[in-house]
Amino acid sequence: MNIFLLPYTWLRHFGMALWCASAGLMAWWAVLTGLVVLNLDWPPGWDGPILMTTISVTVAVASILGEANLRRLPLWSRGLKVLFAAGISGLITVLYYMLWHGVMGLLLDGSSLIDAQDPSLVSLSYRMGAFGMGGLGCGTGCLVVRKFSEPVSHLAGGLAAGLLGGVGWYVAGLPTDEVVFGVVAPQKDLFLAGATLGVTWGFSFGLMAWSIPDELYVGWLRVLTPRRFGRRIPIDAPDRKAKERFVGHFPRGLDLFLPVEDGVQELHLSVVVDDRQRYTARGLSQQPTMVKRLLQSVDLRYDPRRPTPVETPLSSGDRIVLGQGEQRAELEFILLPKEEV
């Protein structure tokens, strides 16, 4: 996970999903290798807890480590967080798993109980709870390490990831030649079912439990017109407090100078960032000032009859055109990784 590979687009959220999917895949592979190649000797009843715990721990570690990498935390801090995440998610997954099976033991009886307790029975109905508990353990581990921030997305995301993993596992291994929902042609393959479990679980968890926060990015104004092309200024203050940056041709004191030849007024535009990292453009001049984005143009020219300047929220990729015709300057607003500051 590297913040420079995750530009501020909606696709950035898939970065963590792919990272966690790789971790889920590796977790399945590790358990399979332990069983098939290393011939590790544990009773059949432990297959479920061991696989659930391994995937849960690995995906939780991937999520925490991924975040730590994005934040460029010191190595010792990354190590501590990883250990903490692994320990918590592992313990909680085992506890949830046992708790679930304890409840199953109380709720079921007769042949249903025998089926539920058969560690060799390939069944979604009796395993669904185990998948859910595994996902919940994974989410809980991350939630604790992230100091209980975003509890709903962690717990619900974890639960959903585990359940989706279970559905993927079941569909990939369905013992039928029928096409499910007209889309999926199952492989009747319990080998690929395990891989599907790890990948689906990890991908869903990475996508749902924790999104890459805006605080890892900083807004910039960048000049696009030939004169002063490529000049750029950060909007955010180093302490992330509210800040306003000014653009104009006044030679002193402004944050970004643009030549008057390009139709820029002495004090033409300002861009504000508040303490919740929302960016806003304010038109300070009566000269043409436009914010352009896909299928939308916002005229920010100052209206003297109004008590306040006209403003519009900015999002990454917006263009700001100052002046018009031959005499005009063009800026872009772009969110770049904070590391670039």
Q: Are 131 and 162 in contact (CB under 8 A)?
A: yes
* Interface with another protein, residue 5, by CB under 8 A: yes
Out of 171, 199, 216, 271, the only residue in the binding site for another protein (CB under 8 A) is: 199
Burial 243-262 (b: 16+ CB within 10 A, else e): bebbbbbeeeebbbbbeeeb
Phi, psi angle pair for 172, to nearest 5°: -65, -25
**Binding to another protein, residues 37-66 (CB under 8 A):** 37, 39-49, 51
Q: Given the complex with another protein, which of 112 and 286 has the nearer CB atom?
A: 112
Give the Cα separation of 194 and 101 in Å (integer): 21
User: Stretches 147-155, 190-198, 270-278, 304-312: which one binds another protein (CB under 8 A)?
Assistant: 190-198
**Binding to another protein, residues 211-230 (CB under 8 A):** 222-230
Q: Are 275 and 241 in contact (CB under 8 A)?
A: yes
SS3 (DSSP) at 5: helix
Task: Pull the structure tokens for residue 208.
Answer: 């749902």
* Interface with another protein, residue 180, by CB under 8 A: no
Task: Pull the structure tokens for residue 87.
Answer: 């320990």
Pairing status of strand 319-324 against strand 289-293: antiparallel
Dump the DSSP string for 243-266.
EEEEEES-SSS-SEE--GGGT--T
Q: How far is the CB of 129 from another protein (least distance, A)?
A: 13
Contact track, another protein, 237-266, x by CB under 8 A: --------------x--xxxx-x-------
* Interface with another protein, residue 233, by CB under 8 A: yes
* Interface with another protein, residue 87, by CB under 8 A: no
Q: How far is the CB of 158 from another protein (least distance, A)?
A: 19
**Binding to another protein, residues 112-141 (CB under 8 A):** 118-123, 127
**Binding to another protein, residues 8-37 (CB under 8 A):** 9, 11-12, 14-15, 18-19, 21-22, 25-26, 28-29, 31-33, 35-37
